Amino acid sequence: MFDFDTLAQAFSRQTVLCIGDLMLDEFVYGEVSRISPEAPAPVIAAQKSETNIGGAGNVARNIASLGGRCIFTGLIGEDEVGVKMAVTLAQEPGIESVLVHDPARPTTRKVRFVSEHFSTHMLRADWELAAPASPETEQRLIDAILPHLPRADIVLLSDYAKGVLTARVIRNIIDAAKNLGKRVIVDPKSANLAIYRGATLLTPNRREFAAATRTRADSDQNIAGAAQDAMHLADCEAILVKQSEHGMTLVLRSGETIHVPALPVRVRDVSGAGDTVAAALALTLAAEADWETALRVANAAAAVAVGKKGTATVARAELRRKILPHASLAAEEKIVAVGGDLDVHLVDWRKQGLRIGFTNGCFDILHPGHVKVLTAARGACDRLIVGLNSDASVKRLKGEGRPVQDEGARAEVLAALEAVDLVAIFEEDTPIELIAKVRPSVLVKGGDYTREQVVGHEIVEAAGGQVMLVDILPGHSTTSLVGRARGGKA
């Protein structure tokens, strides 16, 4: 297993030169409950909208969010959307933008209408000119890009076929990069892989790869064979085929094939996941990691990205938790103070529109009954916070001799569980104050409680949340375990 912490520290020393098609991604979220009387079309009751920098701009944002530095070059029109993009990019930490203006084309904009309840994309509206840049604009792009090559540790071309990466622009960049000994990664759109000749790595998805190789690309064996032919045509070192829920397959010119399955995750939105993969690959390879490490880091980054709404970025800490979910240090990061870190997480999760769950207990000796409740609770939400009684609180509730384990040990065991996202220790006899702070969408307890007995049910239900009771496993209790361990009767 590679040392992720050492690798992540190396990210901050890498500069990626990213070139590609810039676009504005807008997401309109709402609910559909009726059909329009004017036409057989659903009516979405819009509730909120979000805008993000998308396309190659999202690759740049992910490079920065993972801790790297990015020099970004793209094309915008002289319009309101272009101005907004330029201002937003200029404010992004870690990104140095070098934008070329083309008054003859609109800045690409995509608006997606999404069912909030089902997280389903219903319709997309595009404003774009999907035509190659003019010869004059091509030259201005080349002149803007090449002076920055010496400063880059690696070059990344993000092709969305919106006009930036013409055959001429691609050729100039790859040839200049090779002359300087720079690796080049290409996320291709063209089925003619020969235009990317000389790149180090191509990263098509399975549909793009099948179109380029005229194969079905329906098995690792088929992909490996077709990739070898494609690598000879494109004169590249490796091809990575992204297969969504089926994982990723990396084929090397040497003949080696490496496949990693997709990590289990609740998929919320696949928009921009390929951007995250490209960013993670660029930083990992720039840090001189081997091919398998780069593949596994990119796979984990994609798993984080698809668990978020919209065109999302992945932070280095999120990537670490996905790669090292059971490491003790990762567990320690989940243990938060009721103020401070907890508030930071709550603000971030609410901003993302995530469903927050809460449960609580002493968890003195963790047993299968606890695990069942925690697993069920995590299945009902996007992020689960566990309120843990402090040592003093447990002693008041359970009497002398309890807890058996101190709060630090109990918190660390809980935090090591994949179902648990945060552990917050509280001093009071009940978690009522903590629940009021968290304001969870779902409050979970074992089925040995009634709804009315669940502390905080009034707060949660008044805010539109729900109380969920999970059937307990008979024969499992901490009290009986302690009794047996101490030689008493269970």
| Residues belonging to the active site | 275
Q: Which two tokens stand for residue 159?
A: 């092709």
Residue 414 is given by DSSP the state H
Residue 130 is given by DSSP the state -
**How far, CA to CA in Å, does 108 sit from each of 17, 73, 133, 135, 316?**
21, 15, 13, 20, 29
Q: Which residues contact 207 (CB under 8 A, 6 or more apart)?
A: none
Q: Which residues contact 320 (CB under 8 A, 6 or more apart)?
A: 4, 5, 8, 330, 333
User: Rounded to the nearest 5°, which phi and psi values hold at 429?
Assistant: -70, -30
How far does Cα 347 stand from its chain's mean position? Answer: 17
Dist CA 82 CA 97 (whole Å): 13
Best CA proximity match to 123, nearest among 135, 115, 132: 115
β strands within 3-94, DSSP E:
15-20, 22-35, 42-55, 69-76
Residue 272: left if φ>0, alpha if ψ -120 to 50, beta else—which one? left
Q: Buried b vs exposed e over 385-401: b needs ≥16 C-beta within 10 Å?
A: bbbbbbbebbeeebeee
